[in-house]
Structure 1
Amino acid sequence: MTGERTAGSPAPDELYERLKAFEGRTTVQGGEGRDPVNEPMIRHWCEAMGDTNPAYPGIAPPTMLQAWTMGGLAGHPAGSARTGAHDELFGLLDDAGCTSIVATDCEQEYPRPLRPGDRVRFDGVIESVSPRKTTALGSGYFITTRMDIHVGDVLVGTHRFRVLKYAPARRSPQPKPSPQPQPRPQPKPQPASTARAARPRPVVNRDNEGFWEGVAEHRLLLQRCAGCATLRFPWLPGCGRCGSPEWETAEASGRGTVFSHVVMHHPPFPAFEPPYAVGLVELAEGVRMVGGITGVPYDKVRIGMPVELEFLRVEDTKGAMELPVFRATAEEAV
């Protein structure tokens, strides 16, 4: 689906020129955080994330940056500093058939930490619109917005958020089998190799490429801070405990327990067969990571269940890749 049009929509080149005109347009100007940076919200965040860094709540965790700009369930008050540029851009894409959206990645920069009592203000801009791209999901445009966050006149953070606004790819309808009485199917462990629709590929960047190189070698690599020896995952450019940018790798044993989990039913995606379980696994080394849970039916996964790492080789329309997943131990699978 590279050049399809809906009735009345502009030609792809013409559409792109219209989209490019949005680059540099302001989406928020002079926005203000609903609440000052405060210790209770920092504490709730740290408890949810399991972050015991002693620096908090004296400062806010850097990854909370966007939280201070959000309007909460009630949204931002009427008359806030948001413009209509974002809605106008997305309306143009909707009219052109790009009615679906998926977040792809975000980048944050932290020039200085936020402290309790800080009052943040923020300005947003549409930073870039890509040419039309064709992906496994469909054909559309990558939209990058940037938010600059200040305390007074001091820049304290920058948040870039990128989405793909696309027209879903058409898929051939599957013939429906004749209705016959069938026993209730029992979920089976995921096979070691499966050929199916393309799975989403992990985003590999300069901060985490070493992790994925380890996965390709069937090694689960963590980072160990060279300053305070704290283990961390996911991979980050610096230590959240002492701030040191120096680190080395440490290979995890692969043993862990399910700290939390969800069962995915919706939305359906061709590369997966719902329902299936996704867990937050606490490794024996003390860090946590997200991964698929295999080896037992999805409804038998439980908090505290012991699991062991295995590497799943997936072959699909994009080729082969290795993924770390967690299998219930033999005692649990009985």
Structure 2
Amino acid sequence: MIRRPRLNPVVGTARNLVRAALDEAQVPPGSLILVACSGGADSLAVAATTAHLARSGQYRVGAVVVDHGLQPDSAEVAEAARGQLTELGLEPVEVRRVEVPSRGMGPEAAARTARYAALDAAVEDHAAGAVLLGHTLDDQAEQVLLGLSRGSGTRSLSGMPARRGVYLRPFLGLRRSDTEEICRFSGLAPWHDPTNADPSLTRSRVRTQVLPYLEDALGPGIVEALHRTSRILAQDAAYLDELAYAEYTRLRTTHDDGSLLLGEDALRALPPALRQRVLALAVVELGGVQPSFERLLAAENLLRRKGSAGPVQLGGKVSAHRQVRGPRVPHGDASYGSLVLRKNHPKPS
């Protein structure tokens, strides 16, 4: 009797995580699943794991390699990744080259924006049911630490979601060393991104300096603890966001000029965690950006009815002011006693 090679336990765990992610997202069997692959260990491990589902006939599995063109050998790296993915049996496998803008945002944010635009296009072109990303538990820990360094709130500290639309992150429970083990087991040669060791990048310093220091100073398990914290905060943030949206729907009224009105008394009655979220929802609906904590506090100061009635700039050219009595707002007008938020459009020259 021929004995099959024993399955590596990490590979078995990875397969279970991918199946669970697809089941949780209710991706129908037979759908095309795309793996976003950089050629690194994390995404190659996802590809090798998901290829098993294709071989067993559960799903069709393809891959997209995004070439950002930021390094001299990026085209060669992308083609090498394409070759390994094809050998795994994935189909289709394509390289999408993008241009990363050099102005308007930081290099990491610009590359991420270009990458997701390419992946969104691939989903539409191939009618894919899901895109699998290779982020690991280590990536999540780094994300939480970056949020802490920025003084962010619960949504940021909750880290990367396991699911966002068609994008799934099945490996958030695996360590980066686990993905390297999967690659060794599968006979894959991952690419090592030199930017991961670039001290000029904040995320790289967190990866190579901060987390190892914390592990040394606080003992092993800090990465798992940060991940656990992110999961708890994700639940809290989701619940608060749900409550805030219900309150926003209840309080929100619109004006003929396109501005949004929120009753002051009703806003004051809300707990700060909900009040600030309601204000942020109004800003985003008007086309602004998520306000900083300091901007939200400035808007809340208007509710105290002391000092200036505004306007307070909240971000993305959205401002808030307190409605006051005057010739244009006679006593008893429905808008009196409201916080008014509007998008400030540039005046024609």
Sort the TM-score into its range (normalised by shorter chain): under 0.3
Q: Larger % of strand: which? A: 1
Larger radius of gyration: 2
Query: Structure 1 length normalisation: TM-score?
Result: 0.25
Q: Larger % of helix: which? A: 2
Query: Structure 2 length normalisation: TM-score?
Result: 0.24
